[in-house]
Amino acid sequence: MFVLTIDQRGSRTGTDRVPELLADLADVPVVRGFERTVGDEVQGVLDDPDVVVDTALRVLRDGGWSVGIGAGAVDEPLPASPREGAGPAFVLAREAVEAAKSRQRPVPLAVRGADPQAAADADGVLVLLGAVTVRRTPAGWAAVDALRARGATARDDAPAQDVVATALGVTQQAVSQRLRTALWAEEVAVRPAAARLLTRAAG
């Protein structure tokens, strides 16, 4: 099981963005839905590592959040609210989000798990993916989002790129260049590895 604890960065000097985040995450498949736990923090319980990877990267893209992933067991039966949940994954998620807040972290994301070595490996891969996400340009995101909307999963999907090029009003070559700069093919290739490492981290 996976617990995501997400904390707003710099909330004391900014507006409360929790309602906006909860709305953005409303479509995420969960075991227990995301909700505010305390202050400017939200938490949810998930069982699909691929969804965990996607959700973490979505939150990092928005910016202004620290993401902690706890991979491990939870006490059963799970209560209706994650606020009332208990077990190792909840403790690990707390440790992870506190680590994610460190100024020494290149990306505000951390993983802690029942298997510490696998969790460290998952942490490294997800931080690398997060770095790609936060550095992607608006033009790169436009191309990536358009391809994802059409179900394309490979950079060399020429027919999909032609459709995207028409929609964006650019050439197919421009779309291809944007995707290369955005490291989209590399992200697609690495996501499954991150998910597998999270599964191992859960023990």
**72 and 156 assigned to the same domain:** no
**8 and 94 assigned to the same domain:** yes
**8 and 108 assigned to the same domain:** yes
**110 and 144 assigned to the same domain:** no
Which of 139, 121, 144 is CA-nearest to residue 54? 144
Question: With contact defined as beta carbons under 8 Å apart, do 61 and 133 qualify?
Answer: yes
For residue range 13-54, list pLDDT tens digits in order: 678 899 999 999 999 999 999 999 988 999 999 999 999 999
User: What mean pLDDT do residues 64-79 have?
Assistant: 95
**143 and 111 assigned to the same domain:** no
**150 and 61 assigned to the same domain:** no
Q: Give me the CATH number covering residue 30.
A: 3.30.70.270
Does residue 187 fall inside a structural domain? no
Residue 194: predicted pLDDT: 97
Residue 162: predicted pLDDT: 83
Does residue 198 fall inside a structural domain? no
> Residue 33: which domain range?
2-115
Name the domain boundary from 83, 115, 147. 115
**15 and 98 assigned to the same domain:** yes
Residues in Cβ contact with 99 at an 8 Å cutoff, skipping those fewer than 6 apart: 68, 105, 110, 112
User: What mean pLDDT do residues 62-80 have?
Assistant: 94
**9 and 108 assigned to the same domain:** yes
Alpha helices in the chain (DSSP H): 18-24, 49-62, 88-100, 116-135, 138-149, 158-168, 172-182, 184-201
**49 and 100 assigned to the same domain:** yes
36 DSSP β-pair partners: 42
Does residue 194 fall inside a structural domain? no
**60 and 148 assigned to the same domain:** no
The CA angle 103-90-82, to the nearest 5 degrees, is 115
Does residue 192 fall inside a structural domain? no
Name the domain boundary from 59, 81, 115. 115
> Would you state the structure tokens that stand for residue 73, as one six-digit string?
């067991």
**6 and 55 assigned to the same domain:** yes
Does residue 120 fall inside a structural domain? no
> How many domains are contained in the chain?
2
> Would you state the structure tokens that stand for residue 141, as one six-digit string?
């995101």
**61 and 154 assigned to the same domain:** no
pTM exceeds cut of 0.75: yes
Burial of 151 (0-12, 13-18, 19+ CB in 10 A): exposed
41, containing H or E segment: strand 41-46
Name the domain boundary from 82, 115, 148. 115
> Would you state the structure tokens that stand for residue 195, as one six-digit string?
């998910």
